[in-house]
Amino acid sequence: MEIAWGRVLPVIVSIVIIITIAVLREYSKTLAAIASTMPINLPLGMWLVYGGSTKAEMEQFTRALALNLIPTFAFVVIAWLAAKAGWKLIPMVLAGYAGWGVGLFLLMLVRRAFGF
């Protein structure tokens, strides 16, 4: 039986990151935040796409990654503003996801309108 590393590796890495963040938060909120924002899924996605892609397809994929960071940044800013306002965790996360969803929808409209 062969291990499907493309499926197993993200889970292992995620567990290691969660443990790292839990330990780091006791020492430094900044280091915990850095660990939380590490690009873990990006290289894994690039690795999966790279295997069967042309140079043009890889360029298109990495461009999409860069553009899709915009709604993710909106999520973080909204969560930060909600935390600053004293919101509890679940409303903070839900507001962040709502902003992410709106940002993603707008990004898709812009991409369709301008063809990129």
Q: Output 60 or 116, whichever has higher pLDDT.
A: 60
pLDDT score recorded for residue 4: 76
* pLDDT tens, position by position, 56-112: 999 999 999 999 999 999 999 999 999 999 999 999 999 999 999 999 999 999 999
pLDDT at 61 (0 to 100): 93
Q: What is the mean pLDDT of residues 11-17?
A: 83
**Among all chains, which residue has been given the structure tokens 């990006």?**
42
**Confidence band for 3, pLDDT divided at 50, 70 and 90:** confident
- pLDDT score for 49: 86
Indicate whether 65 and 31 sit together in one domain.
Answer: no
Average pLDDT estimate for 12-18: 84
In a domain, 17, yes or no: yes
Percentage of residues in the chain with pLDDT exceeding 70? 99
- Same domain? For 116 and 63 the reply is yes
Query: Which pLDDT band holds residue 43 (cuts at 50, 70, 90)?
Result: confident
**Total structural domains within the chain:** 2
- For residues 20 and 37, is the Cβ–Cβ distance under 8 A? no
Burial of 99 (0-12, 13-18, 19+ CB in 10 A): buried
Mean pLDDT (the chain) is 89
Say how many Å lie between the first and final Cα of the chain, rounded.
42
21 and 71 in a single domain? The answer is no
Gap between the Cα atoms of 105 and 116, Å rounded:
14
Which pTM does this prediction carry?
A: 0.76
Q: Work out the number of other CB atoms within 10 angstroms of the CB of residue 53.
A: 14
Domain span including residue 92: 54-116
Angstrom CA distances, 41 to 14, 62, 63, stand at 9, 13, 15
